[in-house]
A and B are shown apart, each in its own frame.
Chain A
């Protein structure tokens, strides 16, 4: 009987994980299905008892939340990637913001909803560190996940957006990066963290999938999609 695992993964991992899943399936003979959404939304689903085997979050906060709720196998936690936070504008926009300082003049800026979307939380940190958060109120279109924030910019319906550097390739040719935030100064370093969900009925394959994320094969695929190595220190 072919085994199968369900991986709930951050929306920003969509393209990279689909390829990663294929690779893992070939190596291990285990079918991998994905449920992509905002990390915060995935937490709520798993808390509610969704039959998920692995949780892969775009930030450790969501993993902490699930761990506190007793829904994870804490020993399986592992950081597996990093990312950059960038400011994007639609290609072909007439007077696009040229940098963070211009955001004050933008009509609509899309970011993920900070309470549920890690990219949105990082975006909020950037705006706060640059003293822009207050004046952006009422002009921030809060997206349900980072890819939606990207789509608002790609369609030209938002003047700018704050997303992960890796998201840009999912809308290649329709958005361009005008500025990158400085990790550590503008926001907490982006740290992708995965763990096995407590109660998984495929514990072995789930464990192996989390371990696989740190192996050279997976690292190479993640790097192909623009992810960096996980930021150093704290957890390894």
Chain B
């Protein structure tokens, strides 16, 4: 595989988003479903941690977990044969960890905003919890989840610090747009950096804008009720 930074970034961000969605939906659903349980604040804090942690802390943690520096890392590499450092898959894992809280917060707010009566109706009709999630919640929450997905994708696309530490900067393999931009600045290529910065800014703007439009739409709809 040898991809230019744009395609590579799209690949890494898409893979990261795919990694985030299943555990993200589960965590968001459980948080929305169980409003009160002991340690809820602790769990919420833990899930949100990558949002405020320096990406270098996340990168260091992943480096330890995935690399040759720890017993677990050596087991992962040698026994399990999972080699993630310096690979695009490793970059995706780093981006996924960073994007995860954004997805969970948005998705959990979506689930929480749904009309609980809908669920009650489903339950009285004898639907199991997974069935409720699949046939009632997911369709109702579709737009909200799409917003969460958009945010997670945008965040993954912009990930820099943890990615650099975990995946290095291998042109064609792990050098995503933010890393290529950094390399361009280090090498004094300001024109290249400007083009990449403009592209990344545009994508980030569009993503936030779309999510904003959706939030307004939601607020408008709630106002009608």
Contact = CB atoms under 8 A, between A and B. Distances in A.
In the A-B complex, the 3 residue pairs with the closest CB atoms:
A115-B187, A156-B68, A116-B186
A141 B67 contact: no
Contacts of A158: 86
Name the residue in A38, A47, A152, A155 with the highest tally of chain B Cβ atoms < 10 Å from its Cβ.
A155
Nearest to A41: B186
B207 interface: no
Interface stretch (B123-131, B133-141, B167-175): B167-175
A109 B214 CA distance: 47
A142 B183 contact: yes
Contacts of B71: none
Contact of A142 (B1, B68, B85, B168): B168
The B interface, classified by DSSP as helix, strand, loop or mixed, is loop
A212 B164 CA distance: 37
A143 B172 CA distance: 15
Interface in B10-64: 63
A116 B85 CA distance: 23
B69 interface: yes
Contacts of B85: 157
B186 A141 contact: no
Contacts of B63: 155
A40 B85 CA distance: 26
21 contacts: A41-B186, A44-B185, A44-B188, A65-B188, A113-B186, A115-B183, A115-B187, A116-B183, A116-B186, A137-B2, A138-B2, A139-B170, A141-B169, A141-B170, A142-B175, A143-B168, A144-B164, A144-B186, A155-B67, A156-B69, A157-B67
Contact of B69 (A43, A65, A143, A155): A155
Nearest to A141: B168
A219 interface: no
A158 B185 CA distance: 25
B166 to A, nearest CB: 10
Contacts of B173: 138
Interface residues of A, number: 26
A108 interface: yes
Given A40-B186, A157-B85, A142 B69 contact: no
A139 B175 CA distance: 12
A140 interface: yes
Interface string A100-117: 000000001010010110
A61 to B, nearest CB: 12
Interface in A145-196: 152, 155-158
Interface residues of B, number: 22
Contacts of B189: 115
Interface string B142-180: 000000000000000000000010001111110100000
A103 to B, nearest CB: 15
A40 B188 contact: yes
Contacts of A65: 188
Interface in B177-209: 183, 185-189
A141 B67 CA distance: 15
A139 B169 CA distance: 10
Nearest to B165: A148
Nearest to B2: A138
Contacts of A140: 170-171
Contacts of B172: 137-138
A44 B193 CA distance: 13
Given A40-B188, A142-B170, 6 more contacts: A44-B186, A110-B168, A137-B2, A141-B170, A142-B183, A156-B68
B170 A138 contact: yes
A39 B185 CA distance: 13
Nearest to A108: B86
B163 to A, nearest CB: 13
A47 B188 CA distance: 9
Interface in A13-72: 38, 40-41, 43-44, 47, 65
